[in-house]
Amino acid sequence: MMHSEIENQEIVERYVRNQLTPEERQAFEEHFFGCQECFEKLQDAERFRAGVRDAAGRGRLTDEARAGFAEGRSRWLVWAFAATACTALVFAVMTAWTYLTLVPGLRGARNRVAAELQAERQSQVPLEQGTVRVEQAEANVPLVMLQASRAEEKPASVLLQAGAKHLVLWIEIGPSRYREFRLEVFSSETHLVTSVDHLTRSPYGALAASLPADQLPTGEFLIKLTGENPPPAALAGEYKLRIRRP
């Protein structure tokens, strides 16, 4: 049995009113057991008919109303299904509007917030770096002046007080073809402690390098100064240094 046949012949109404032939009843039952739409229509029709019977049994339904109900049952079902279809259409339209309009707007707002947070983080970097520079500021930084060493000469000596963070080495050198130098600090002939590259002369004609104090334990060190630029590189001087602590 087809849906068009059910609609045109008012099969649902006739089934509820027990007006179908045995063959029609059997065919319709086989159909609505597997058709959710027709099954729901049948339930609506049975509920409607039961309501009418209840109202009539309570004396609340006039003869004129009964006639109107009998004539208008099919129309009521049609309007009920039309209302259901309209509701589904409105829901579909609202869903599409949400997906096409609201969702992109939310995504755009999310992207703007993410960009603002990234910009704020980047703006905080210079402030954090400035804070680090302030924390690393140090008063009374120890300084030692180095002179080229000879075998018999005593090493230059410096006292590092508790809490000292840096030691400044001041090296005066004579005329040289080199514009840049490399400074290396050894605790022995082969053990490199630290190094500084790209040293250039100050306006006073000397080289100045700042070394981390925590890398300079008590003891003697050998400092090598190598001219690097322009190449080829060559040893420019050796210096001895003794570190003392209170």
* pLDDT in the model for residue 196: 95
What does the pLDDT average to over 226-238?
A: 92
Spatial separation of the C-alpha atoms in residues 146 and 166, rounded to whole Å = 16
Q: Is the pLDDT of residue 45 over 50?
A: yes
Q: Choose the most confident range, by mean pLDDT, from 56-65, 98-107, 176-185.
A: 176-185
Q: Where are the alpha helices (DSSP H) in the chain?
A: 3-8, 11-16, 22-32, 36-57, 63-97, 103-136
pLDDT at residue 54 is higher than 60: yes
Cα end-to-end span (Å), the chain: 108
Question: Would you state the pLDDT for residue 69?
Answer: 47
Which residue, chain included where needed, has tokens 């707002």? 109
The residue among 238 and 49 whose pLDDT is bigger is 238
What does the buried/exposed string (b/e) look like for 153-192 if buried means 16 or more CB atoms within 10 Å of the residue's CB? eebbebebeeebebbebebebeeeebeebbbebbbeeeee
pLDDT at 129: 60
Q: What is the CATH number of domain 143-244?
A: 2.60.40.10
Which pair of structure tokens corresponds to residue 238?
């050796």
pLDDT of residue 115: 76
Sign of CA dihedral 125, 128, 134, 138: negative
Residue 244 has pLDDT above 90, yes or no: yes
Mean pLDDT of 221-239: 92
Q: What are phi and psi of 40, to 5 degrees?
A: -70, -40
Residue 55 has pLDDT above 80, yes or no: no
- At residue 107, the pLDDT reads 63
Greater pLDDT, 145 or 76: 145
Spans of all domains in the chain: 143-244
- pLDDT the model gives residue 210: 92
**Residues 9-42: pLDDT tens digits?**
888 888 888 888 988 888 888 887 778 888 888 8
The answer to which of 36-40, 190-194, 199-203, 224-228 has the lowest mean pLDDT is 36-40
